Structure 1
Amino acid sequence: MRKLAALLAFAASPALATGLEIEVEGEANGTIVIDLLEDVAPQHAERISGLAASGAYDGVVFHRVIDGFMAQTGDVEFGKAGGDMRRAGTGGSDQPDLPAEFSDVPYDRGVVGMARAQSPDSANSQFFIMFDQGYFLNGQYTVVGRVTSGMDIVDAIKRGAGPNGAVIGAPDVMKTVKVVD
């Protein structure tokens, strides 16, 4: 009976070793591959892979891009290409916010973190990719993944303006986001 319970628990847990394949269009054109760190942030990795599998991230823009810092995307509510870009970055998904899953993984170049509001437990669907290290984020934002291929595409994403990095004009877009093993 214990073996059956353990097997059922394993089957219900999120699949391990998943990642994302993001096709980017705009000033940047190409594929970014991200390894989701299920062992570091299981709830956040499950949320991102679930939204990607449902197609929620397809057509979502990079709405906040700060040179030398990071590129933010993932607003599935208000961040669709062709929408009102003034609202991009203010929404999330129809799922509840997630509790923080802080770790000792440092915010190095290529690390993927979960965006949030002021509360550490307010991450939902938005995420960001680091252009460079940002150790001031360590222990403050959940690390959910790491770019394994396509940092040249990340580096080419259209930059925003001003201190908040809002992208003016047509932002780069995640044309499709697929879950990969």
Structure 2
Amino acid sequence: MGNWAILAATLAASPALATGLEIEIAGEANGTVAIDLFEEVAPQHVERITTLAEKGAYDGVAFHRVIDDFMAQTGDVQFGKVEGGNMAYAGRGGSTLPDVPQEFSDIPFERGILGMARSQNPDSANSQFFIMFTRYPSLDGQYTVVGKVTDGMEVVDAIKRGTGQNGAVVGQPDVMTSVTVID
């Protein structure tokens, strides 16, 4: 049985996973997004996200790359802070913690999936993550799936879109005002 089938069976047996996130978003999108984190599938990545969230590192971080019919990317705790950050470099940074090795699974990148951003090196995920607007099969097995939106997808859908091929957000980006770990 693949990871996706195991996860589906786990979700059916107990609807709520042990760990999740509550993300407050402000800007063109305003509201709360709830995410279940898949610690059985990507324990090292879930640990990284929860550690950074508990330290408040994600609070005030912009959605710096948002591509219509693809995904919204955020989590650059080094350069992505709207106040006190260096937004000109948003998307190029991470955290002071070491990179996390890949934890690929057979879970498909579909609407609402939270995945870890990385460079060309599969073992380079650090703090950045993205939320899928739609199914994108070319990412399957190439990026680590970390969780799934369980409530507030309409807020994700309203996040300000970027421009050009890279989806860089111009002007005032939408921001994660607070990211809280929930049980």
Q: Same fold (TM over 0.5)?
A: yes
Paired with 2:86 and 2:126, the residues of 1 have a C-alpha distance of 20
Using the size of structure 2 for normalisation, the TM-score is 0.89
Which AA in structure 2 matches 1:89?
Answer: G
2:136 aligned residue: 134
What's the % identity of the aligned pairs? Answer: 70
Residue deviations 1:37-69 (CA, integer Å, cap 9, x gap) = 000000000100110011000000000000000
1:68 aligns with 2:69: yes
2:101 aligned residue: 99
Which AA in structure 1 matches 2:137?
Answer: Y
Secondary structure, counterpart of 1:178 in structure 2: strand
Residue deviations 1:57-92 (CA, integer Å, cap 9, x gap) = 000000000000000000000000133321000000
2:5 aligned residue: none
Paired with 2:82 and 2:24, the residues of 1 have a C-alpha distance of 14
1:49 aligns with 2:50: yes
Paired with 1:167 and 1:152, the residues of 2 have a C-alpha distance of 19
Paired with 1:62 and 1:37, the residues of 2 have a C-alpha distance of 22
1:178 aligned residue: 180
Map 1:5-154 onto structure 2 (within 5 A). Answer: 17-82=18-83, 83-154=85-156
Paired with 1:17 and 1:112, the residues of 2 have a C-alpha distance of 16
Aligned-residue offset at 1:127: 0.1
Secondary structure, counterpart of 1:174 in structure 2: strand
Q: Which runs of 4+ in 1 moved over 6 A?
A: none
Residue deviations 1:12-45 (CA, integer Å, cap 9, x gap) = xxxx610000000000000001100000000000
Secondary structure, counterpart of 1:24 in structure 2: strand
State the number of aligned residues: 166
Secondary structure, counterpart of 2:162 in structure 1: coil
| Structure exhibiting the larger radius of gyration computed from Cα positions | 1
Compare 75-84 and 171-180 and name the one that shifted more.
75-84
Aligned-residue offset at 1:143: 0.3
Paired with 2:130 and 2:80, the residues of 1 have a C-alpha distance of 14
Structure 2 unaligned spans of 5+ = 1-16
Residue deviations 1:69-125 (CA, integer Å, cap 9, x gap) = 000000000000133321000000000001000001100100000000010000000
Paired with 1:19 and 1:56, the residues of 2 have a C-alpha distance of 16
Residue deviations 1:111-168 (CA, integer Å, cap 9, x gap) = 0000000100000000000000011100100000100000000000000000000000
Secondary structure, counterpart of 1:112 in structure 2: strand
RMSD over equivalenced CA pairs, Å: 0.7
